[in-house]
Amino acid sequence: MKSRTKVYLAAAGLIAIGIFVGLILSSSFEIATKGYADYKISDKSIETLTRISDAMAELSQAVEPTVVNISTTRTIKTPGVRNPFFNDPFFKKFFGDGGGFGEEPHERKAMSLGSGVIVDPNGYILTNNHVIKGAEEIKVTLADKRVFKGKIIGADAKTDLAVVKIDAKNLPAIKWGNSDKLRTGDMIIAIGSPYGLNQTVTSGIVSAVGRANVGIADYEDFIQTDASINPGNSGGPLVNARGELVGINTAIFSTTGGYQGIGFAIPSNMAQVVMESLIKHGKVIRGWLGIWIQPLSPELAKKFGLKSEKGALVSDIVEGGPADKAGIKRGDFITEFNGKKIDDPTQLRNMVADTPPGREVPVKLIRNGQEISLNVKIAEQSEEESALKPQVENALAGVNVQDITPSLRQNMRLPQRIQGVIITSIAEDSPAQDVLQSEDIIMEVNRTKVKNVNDYLKVVSGIKPDESILLLVYRQGQTFYLTLSSK
């Protein structure tokens, strides 16, 4: 009887537990169901987001057939390291000529991946120079999986652009867009093959336009975007909402090697000019003005009596060059070129380079407070003329100087005995940042007198990176020596 009672009690307990658990689960389900029922998205919002999603998908599908994968192969030669004991007869006796010591010279094949975009139905493809540089073999894979052998038509290291041709007809080609119309905040998509993942689409906005001094190429006017650009995306298209090519994805800013929200693309307007010149001439034909220019610092603006810093200050003139013939002088401040206002020297440099040689263009400048209009006939830039002033790779790297003009001498009240070059600006990463100052006058470099920029560059360009430099400097009425070191 007691056993039966225990069984009844156990059963009753299990039933009670079951009812309790059931109530909890029922309550939880009711709460969850109620929570989901209260979570409502308006039909208007759903419709808007669906339309945006459909538009992005349609845009991607329209452009993807024009994007290609580019793989290159090149041979890397390793010189090897020979052990000095190899020449010892004793070691040769036991180990022979190889001896197992050191590393013999050898070759290996290296492969790299990149992207490109078809810009002409007859097989012309635009990509980055660094994608195909040094390539012995180029393989182009289309969106439909067809594979072709690529041939380099031309490459331009100064803009990091290249044109590749494949033997194919009636290819889907992308439409060209006007990159000058891009605005910060415009929606864009980037397509390419990051890490070999073909036809990868990322989206974002235009973060900025006109980015220069990035250190990627000689001629820089980059579009900055937050669309994900990773290794392998180089050479792929940056596309606007109309499905038009507005940029060629080129590089990322990263401290880790991966994407960190900052990518750069070459504007389509610059890319189109370079591409057409490469196809027609096999090289880039650039315009040349025959001047050296620099940005205007607040201090210099004050000295020159200028109200705005937007423009380019002429720091030197090439004798007999187009600017010299037109009447442009050292110390002039160029504000307009060919009807377009100039924001900085980089913009002017790019505009001059894009101007066909032989064309006469109007130039506006300020001289001694007066606005002057001139016409300049642009010449063709030769290899010698295209070279910038010698690159400084020592303790004076990042120090920008100019000649002392009569107006500067008067405004700064410099004695006639003070001859040299004046420092206009110093880069933040320059070894001289904490030693020199803007408006310092460098009179001597390593006990050699300098009277102008040419003298200065001749001396400085011959100094080795690890060599210390002795300077004679004039600052605020005092002359003194100081030393610089890149370490």
Residues labelled as active-site residues = 130, 160, 234
DSSP 196: G
One-letter identity of residue 352: V
3-state SS, residue 113? strand
DSSP 160: T
Strands 175-176 and 244-252: parallel
Alpha-helix residue ranges (DSSP H) falling in 64-88 = none
Complete DSSP assignment for 278-291 = HHHHSS---EE--E
CA neighbor of 113 nearest in space, from 160, 48, 69: 69
CA 115 to CA 128: how far, in whole Å? 8
| Contact present, 175 and 183 (Cβ < 8 Å) | no
3-state SS, residue 80? coil
Spatial CB neighbours of 339, under 8 Å, sequence gap ≥ 6: 362
CA 378 to CA 290: how far, in whole Å? 9
Point out which residues pair with 205 in neighbouring strands: 187
Q: What share of the chain is helix, strand, coil (3-state, %, to 5)?
A: 30, 35, 40
Point out which residues pair with 140 in neighbouring strands: 70, 148
